[in-house]
Structure 1
Amino acid sequence: MAKNKGVRLVITLECTECRSNSAKRSPGVSRYTTEKNRRNTTERLEIKKFCPHCNKSAIHKEIK
């Protein structure tokens, strides 16, 4: 029988500045994958991480 999924989810974080900024260093959008606890963090995650396309630290938001 299959086990249940558990409380940890694999999510994708996407740079918010790359989506809206057309004048950037290189084309593309920075994405990171990470896990979050479904019970502790019910809302969407926002983390400040380095974006190689913007060449600076930017806010990365959780996407579907």
Structure 2
Amino acid sequence: MRKHVVLECVETGERIYLTSKNIRNNPDRLELKKYSPKLRRKALFRETK
């Protein structure tokens, strides 16, 4: 079962990425390095509740 999750930047708090994850395989929060337009570089984005 896949669930849609919103990713939030740890540094700026912007929420610009939407992705999906498999809840059975990844029960904890998803963390990805994505591009942040505000910072103009890659930053850590974490799944929000």
Report the TM-score, using the length of structure 2 for normalisation.
Answer: 0.92
Give 1 or 2 for the bigger CA radius of gyration.
1
Percent of aligned pairs with the same residue? 41
- Indicate the RMSD between aligned Cα atoms, in angstroms: 0.9
State the SS of the aligned residue for 2:11: helix
Whose helix fraction is larger, Structure 1's or Structure 2's?
Answer: 1
Matched residue pairs, number?
Answer: 49
Runs of 4+ in 1 over 2 A off after TM superposition: none
Gaps of 5+ in 2: none
| Partner Cα separation in structure 1 for residue 4 and residue 38 of structure 2 | 23
Whose strand fraction is larger, Structure 1's or Structure 2's?
Answer: 2
Report the TM-score, using the length of structure 1 for normalisation.
Answer: 0.72
Gaps of 5+ in 1: 1-6, 20-28
